[in-house]
């Protein structure tokens, strides 16, 4: 019996296009002898569109952008409602949400799938939600004893009333350079590096365009080292990789547009540094109660300090993204990685029943 796999991709987010590329790569990697693929496309308007079952690999992303004429309610994934090609009411065996950012990686879709009692790949509601909010995430890391940069956070309504005091607090507690970020995004959207008060003022205004809460962090000069974590209750850590940016920082353009950033895998770090990063990554995974996968991102300072920056609960997942490349170097090729994740999803679901 083939595994009926629902692929959920697209999404109403800045990472819509990346998600389509990921879906295409995953479809190409799946063994059609083992999997029956059911695409579910979320278009840029946020409508859910059910595509036909795929019996052959698709050629390009356009073939995955189904028209809204086959729009369904998200609840149509419910086992009692889902119709296959044969018009029989059947249940999908597992859902793979290939979505990034708000409304995909933040626990909302995960909550829907929990209610529908469907197994799904990756992190659950709590880890997804906590991982999406940089303030909550850092508070949990602090509680778990993980070393990180100093930070403060404010809501838009606090800022509107006490701007001057807030800037003063940032200057006193963090100094320059500092980084201002919307609490709830990814892909470097809305993030600014500030070197003085006028940049700080502009950065707050910019970040509040995206969120009602911002986090401000002390800026560090450091190498950026990342590892992949895979598993449920017994997570394993990949080799480490390094982001080598050619720019000031790893911003949205460097991530997706100019291709200027090099990935060094494995990273050239000492055994001790690797051990500390690996232990911290696993500790972070457990602290957020993660499951399936995360990519844990660190700063490695010149004096050898390992500081956790963040975890991403649905990291970039094309075959050229850091997470799959890290596992390839560790000995798990892309198709095997997908199968591992599907199995982890089913295992977690079975344990809960
Ligand atoms: P995102 O979730 O959008 O990836 P990050 O917090 O990882 O946001 O920030 C994006 C990039 O900005 C990082 O990869 C790094 O290059 C830079 N950066 C972020 N915070 C700091 C910091 N405190 N010090 C130095 N560089 C930082
Ligand atoms: Mg992130
Ligand atoms: Mg990041």
Reduced to 3 states (helix: H, G, I; strand: E, B; else coil), residue 168 is helix
pLDDT given at position 76: 85
Distance between CA atoms of 52 and 67, rounded to whole angstroms? 12
Tens digit of each residue's pLDDT (9 = 90 or more) over 17-42: 999 999 999 999 999 999 999 999 99
Find out whether 82 and 89 touch, Cβ atoms under 8 Å: yes
Ligand that lies nearest to the alpha carbon of residue 251, given by its number in the listed order:
1
Mutate to test the pocket of ligand 1, among 130, 133, 191 (most ligand atoms within 8 A of CB): 191
**Structural tokens at position 44:** 């840029």
Model's pTM, two decimal places? 0.94
Determine the distance separating the centroid of ligand 1 and the alpha carbon of 143, expressed in angstroms: 21
Cite the DSSP H helix spans in the chain.
16-29, 108-115, 125-132, 134-143, 156-173, 197-207, 252-256, 271-287, 322-330, 334-352
Tens digit of each residue's pLDDT (9 = 90 or more) over 68-121: 988 999 988 888 777 666 666 678 999 999 998 888 899 999 999 999 999 999
Kindly calculate the radius of gyration of the chain based on its CA atoms and give it in whole angstroms. 21
Find out whether 138 and 151 touch, Cβ atoms under 8 Å: yes
Whose CA is closest to atom 21 on ligand 1? Answer: 219
Number of H helices, E strands in the chain: 10, 14
The atom number, within ligand 1, closest to the CA of 252 reads 3
pLDDT-based confidence at 175, cuts 50/70/90? very high
Determine the distance separating the centroid of ligand 2 and the alpha carbon of 100, expressed in angstroms: 10
Which phi and psi angles does 200 have, rounded to 5°? -65, -45
The atom number, within ligand 1, closest to the CA of 297 reads 7
* pLDDT above 80 (res 254): no
Distance between CA atoms of 306 and 116, rounded to whole angstroms? 40
pLDDT-based confidence at 256, cuts 50/70/90? low
Mutate to test the pocket of ligand 1, among 260, 309, 311, 314 (most ligand atoms within 8 A of CB): 309
**Strand boundaries in 11-122, DSSP class E:** 35-42, 48-50, 71-72, 94-97
Alpha-carbon 66 to chain mean position = 24
Q: What is the ipTM of this complex?
A: 0.98
Distance between CA atoms of 263 and 245, rounded to whole angstroms? 9
Query: Could you tell me the CA-to-CA distances from 305 to 33, 177, 227, 299 in Å, in that order?
Result: 48, 18, 16, 8
The backbone region for 304, taken as left when phi is positive above 0, alpha when psi lies in -120 to 50, beta otherwise, is left
pLDDT given at position 187: 73
* pLDDT above 80 (res 147): yes
Which phi and psi angles does 61 have, rounded to 5°? -65, -30
Determine the distance separating the centroid of ligand 2 and the alpha carbon of 90, expressed in angstroms: 36
Distance between CA atoms of 217 and 280, rounded to whole angstroms? 20
Reduced to 3 states (helix: H, G, I; strand: E, B; else coil), residue 18 is helix
């Amino acid at each position: 019996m083939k595994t009926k796999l629902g692929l959920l991709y697209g999404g109403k987010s800045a990472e819509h296009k990346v998600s389509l590329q990921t879906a295409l790569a995953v479809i190409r990697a799946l063994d059609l002898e083992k999997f029956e693929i059911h695409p579910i496309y979320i278009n840029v308007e946020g409508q859910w569109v059910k595509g036909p079952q795929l019996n052959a690999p698709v050629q390009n992303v356009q073939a995955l952008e189904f028209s809204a004429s086959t729009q369904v309610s998200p609840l149509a994934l419910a086992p009692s409602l889902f119709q296959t090609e044969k018009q029989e009411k059947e249940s999908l065996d597992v859902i793979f949400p290939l979505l990034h950012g708000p409304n995909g990686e933040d626990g909302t879709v995960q909550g829907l799938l929990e209610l529908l009692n469907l197994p799904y790949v990756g992190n659950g509601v709590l880890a997804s939600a906590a991982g999406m909010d940089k303030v909550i995430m850092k508070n949990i890391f602090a509680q778990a004893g993980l070393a990180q940069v100093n930070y403060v956070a404010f809501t838009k309504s606090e800022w509107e009333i006490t701007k001057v005091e807030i800037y003063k607090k940032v200057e006193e507690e963090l100094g320059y350079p500092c980084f201002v970020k919307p609490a709830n995004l990814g892909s470097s959207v809305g993030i600014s590096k500030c070197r003085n008060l006028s940049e700080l003022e502009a950065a707050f205004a910019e970040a509040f365009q995206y969120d009602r809460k911002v986090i401000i962090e002390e800026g560090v000069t450091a190498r950026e080292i990342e590892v992949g974590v895979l598993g449920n209750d017994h997570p394993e850590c990949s080799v480490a990789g390094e982001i080598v940016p050619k720019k000031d920082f790893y911003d949205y353009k460097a991530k997706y547009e100019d291709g200027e950033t090099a990935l060094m895998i494995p990273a050239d770090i000492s055994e001790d540094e690797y051990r500390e990063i690996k232990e911290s990554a696993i500790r972070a995974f457990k602290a957020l109660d993660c499951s399936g996968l995360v990519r844990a991102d660190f700063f490695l300072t010149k004096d050898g300090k390992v500081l956790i920056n963040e975890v991403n609960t649905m990291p970039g997942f094309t075959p050229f993204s850091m997470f799959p490349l890290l596992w390839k170097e560790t000995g798990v090729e892309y198709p095997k990685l997908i199968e591992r994740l599907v199995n982890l999803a089913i295992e977690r679901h079975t344990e809960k029943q």
